[in-house]
């Protein structure tokens, strides 16, 4: 995996317009779930369009260590699953690398099993809070044999009798919601998750597709009550993974800020819990046409036709945060090139992503001559229509910080350098090649321009 290599700096510099068509890799959230649900279902699951990034490959290895058979035939992944409750005790630690989704969902998936499982990850993942999933797992009766101030390495063992819980998720987190729902699959009776603010709904939709007994009730305030019945007979499915809207954010913003650009991004997931960035960029004046809306694999997808635009600053509604939570770093780049102030309130959750993204973005903007104000839970950016650039950005093992600032360099007056590009392989392994084909210019491996 990428972590085995030494850090590798990289620069992006402004040049010609970006032109052509790009197909972004498969959605990361759906790909993790495809691996896990396939491993838990009885019989064979086939997956096409899977994201073959390091995060997903780590989840795949963990599922193999629990007894699932996983192999690739041509472009299609085959997963032979074990059935609910069928996981075997792993002979080694489960290493999730950089992947928060991988480890948090897997703790729900196997934490109730009657054997010890130890979860580890890289320096970024080890620094991230896991109490948010350990708390509900403890309520279910899962024994936390090892933890380090509720951080990795963590070892779990399931109880003799796991208890169904009714749990209100205290923060907007699809990972916490999903962890509890997955644990609920092996608990007799009804497990209930209350979600005050709707987050991405891939777990609910995909579990239903696999045959789980799951229902969702939404009240007048938008509070969702999700109920899953334990011990279902999940059966293998044929899955098609759509393109990742979070990855699409990079060519989308790049085409908007590099003068003369005209780019089509094909096959992008349009699930409304994921499209907040598109709404925001359109409000900023971005010329984005949503073309060819169609349904694939139970989800709406579309092609995004985007052209260079003069952007203006906006205030992003706080309620939109869950539907674009991973896109704030690249939105910050768009805001830096806009005219006027962009305000992003209610984004405290950015502090516990692959890095403290609020701080990492603010430092990266400052290093490249962009004025901003960082609050505990907000960011304000003063856009001046152009960015001086010329700075070096610390990426803190965070793929989205790395890609966002390379995008900035494609339109800034001077090149932008990132200290380390290795983590891009976690979610967008073809990033450099795909952008080069559109006309972007990057310095070669390890060389800063
Ligand atoms: C994800 C949920 C989000 C998101 C992450 C993927 C998921 O995390 O940031 O990249 O697939 O469930 P949180 O649950 O921490 O908000």
CATH number reported for the structural domain that contains residue 42 in this entry? 3.65.10.10
The DSSP string of 236-298 is --EEEPPBPHHHHHHHHHHHHHSTT-EEEEEEEE--TTS-HHHHHHHHTT-EEEEEEEEEETT
Query: Which numbered atom of ligand 1 lies nearest the CA of 33?
Result: 11
The reply to whether 292 and 405 lie within a common domain is: yes
Q: Which of 194, 228, 262 is the last residue of a domain?
A: 228
Q: Is the residue at 161 inside a domain? A: yes
Find out whether the peptide bond into 153 is cis, omega within 30 degrees of 0: yes
Q: Is the residue at 386 inside a domain? A: yes
pLDDT digits (tens, 9 = 90+) for 129-142: 999 999 999 999 99
Q: Of all residues in the chain, what percent carry a pLDDT higher than 70?
A: 98
Q: Is the residue at 83 inside a domain? A: yes
Q: Is the residue at 236 inside a domain? A: no
Q: Is the residue at 303 inside a domain? A: yes
Query: Which numbered atom of ligand 1 lies nearest the CA of 203?
Result: 12
What is the rounded average pLDDT for all residues in the chain?
97
Q: Which of 179, 203, 228 is the last residue of a domain?
A: 228
Count of domains forming the chain: 2
For residue 129, the enclosing domain spans 28-228
Nearest Cα neighbor of 314 from 330, 329, 334 is 334
pLDDT digits (tens, 9 = 90+) for 39-80: 999 999 999 999 999 999 999 999 999 999 999 999 999 999
The reply to whether 261 and 158 lie within a common domain is: no
Query: Which numbered atom of ligand 1 lies nearest the CA of 105?
Result: 12
Residue with CA at minimum distance from ligand 1 atom 11: 29
The reply to whether 257 and 324 lie within a common domain is: yes
Determine how many CB atoms are found less than 10 A away from the CB of residue 260. 12
Q: Is the residue at 233 inside a domain? A: no
Give dist(CA 402, CA 419) in Å, integer.
Answer: 8
Best residue for ligand 1 mutational test, from 35, 132, 175, 182 (most atoms within 8 Å of Cβ) = 175
pTM: 0.98
Residue with tokens 């101030």: 149
* Ligand 1 contact via 323 beta carbon (within 6 Å): no
| pLDDT band at residue 447 under the 50/70/90 scheme | low
Q: Which of 228, 251, 272 is the last residue of a domain?
A: 228
Task: Report pLDDT for 3.
Answer: 61
Give dist(CA 13, CA 213) in Å, integer.
Answer: 52
């Amino acid at each position: 995996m990428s972590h085995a290599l030494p850090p590798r700096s990289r620069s992006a510099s402004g040049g010609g317009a970006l032109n052509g068509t790009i197909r972004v890799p498969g959605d990361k959230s759906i790909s993790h779930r495809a691996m896990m649900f396939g491993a838990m279902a009885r019989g064979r699951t086939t997956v096409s369009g899977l994201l073959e990034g390091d995060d997903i490959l780590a989840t795949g290895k963990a599922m193999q260590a629990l007894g699932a058979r996983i192999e690739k035939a041509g472009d299609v992944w085959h997963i032979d699953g074990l059935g609910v409750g069928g996981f075997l005790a792993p002979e080694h630690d489960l290493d999730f690398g950089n992947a928060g989704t991988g480890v948090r969902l897997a703790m729900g998936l196997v934490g109730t099993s009657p054997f010890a499982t130890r979860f580890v990850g890289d320096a970024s993942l080890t620094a991230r809070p896991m109490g948010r999933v350990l708390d509900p797992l403890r309520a279910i009766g899962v024994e936390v044999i090892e933890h380090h101030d509720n951080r990795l390495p963590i070892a779990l063992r399931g109880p003799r009798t796991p208890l169904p819980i009714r749990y209100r998720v205290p923060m907007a987190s699809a990972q916490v919601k999903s962890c509890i729902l997955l644990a609920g699959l092996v608990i007799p009776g009804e497990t209930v998750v209350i979600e005050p603010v709707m987050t991405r709904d891939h777990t609910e939709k995909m579990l239903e597709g696999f045959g789980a007994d799951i229902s969702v009730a939404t009240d007048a305030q938008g509070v969702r009550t999700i109920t899953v019945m334990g011990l279902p007979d999940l059966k293998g499915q044929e899955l098609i993974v759509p393109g990742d809207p979070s990855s699409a954010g990079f060519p989308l913003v790049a085409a908007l800020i590099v003068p003369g650009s005209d780019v089509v991004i094909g096959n992008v997931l349009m699930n409304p819990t994921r499209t907040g960035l598109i709404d925001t960029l359109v409000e900023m004046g971005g010329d984005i046409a949503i073309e060819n809306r169609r349904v694939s694999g139970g989800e709406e997808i579309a092609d995004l036709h985007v052209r260079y635009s003069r952007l203006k600053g906006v205030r992003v509604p706080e309620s939109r945060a869950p539907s674009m939570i991973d896109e704030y770093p690249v939105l910050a780049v768009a805001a830096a090139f806009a005219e006027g102030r962009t305000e992003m309130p209610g984004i405290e959750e950015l502090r516990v992503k692959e890095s403290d993204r609020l701080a990492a973005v603010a430092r990266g903007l400052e290093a490249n001559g962009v004025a901003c104000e960082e609050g505990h839970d907000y960011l304000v950016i003063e856009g001046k229509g152009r960015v001086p650039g010329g700075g070096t950005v610390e990426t803190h093992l965070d793929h989205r910080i790395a890609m966002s600032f390379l995008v900035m360099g494609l339109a800034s007056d001077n090149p932008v350098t990132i200290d380390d590009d290795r983590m891009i392989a976690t979610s967008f392994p073809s990033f450099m090649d795909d952008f080069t084909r559109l006309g972007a210019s990057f310095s070669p491996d390890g060389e800063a321009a």
